[in-house]
């Protein structure tokens, strides 16, 4: 069982927006602004899409945005495109003894 909880699936039509949630606790998501999001296509390595809750690495489209409220972080993908279909994982800092925890992943389907 993963430390962070994500819905197993999400979907939307091209052009629409979809939001994926990531629920943790006051010991990880709720206590630190170190939430990150990763996109993973089949057979490929994960790709960092969002770090420190809402920052985008260079090269990531601004259609991807992140936010956090309490113990829940969210990734929003606006203007869905076919290439956005992938698995998405959230990650969080969880204190000095357990630095990295992940969610179980969400499969995003573009209808």
Partner 1 sequence: QVQLQESGPGLLKPSETLSLTCTVSGGSISSYYWSWIRQPPGKGLEWIGYIYYSGSTKYNPSLKSRVTISVDTSKNQFSLKLNSVTAADTAVYYCARGRSSWNQWGQGTLVTVSS
**Using CA of residue 87, residue 59, residue 45, residue 37, what is the dihedral sign?**
negative
The burial class, CB within 10 Å (0-12 / 13-18 / 19+), for 22 is buried
Nearer to partner 1, 17 or 37 (CB): 37
Q: Which of 22, 39, 51, 75 binds partner 1 (CB under 8 A)?
A: 51
Nearer to partner 1, 57 or 79 (CB): 57
Minimum CB separation of residue 16 from partner 1 in Å reads: 26
Nearer to partner 1, 12 or 93 (CB): 93
Q: Which tokens belong to 101?
A: 């925890």
């Amino acid at each position: 069982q993963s430390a962070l909880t994500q819905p197993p699936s999400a979907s939307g039509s091209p052009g629409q927006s979809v939001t994926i949630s990531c629920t943790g606790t006051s010991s990880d998501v709720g206590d630190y602004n170190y939430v990150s999001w990763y996109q993973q296509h089949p057979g490929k390595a994960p790709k960092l899409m969002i770090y420190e809750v809402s920052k985008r690495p260079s090269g990531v489209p601004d259609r991807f945005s992140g936010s956090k409220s309490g113990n829940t972080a969210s990734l929003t993908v606006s203007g869905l495109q076919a290439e956005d279909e992938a698995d998405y994982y959230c990650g969080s800092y969880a204190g000095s003894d357990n630095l990295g925890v992940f969610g179980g992943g969400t499969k995003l389907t573009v209808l």
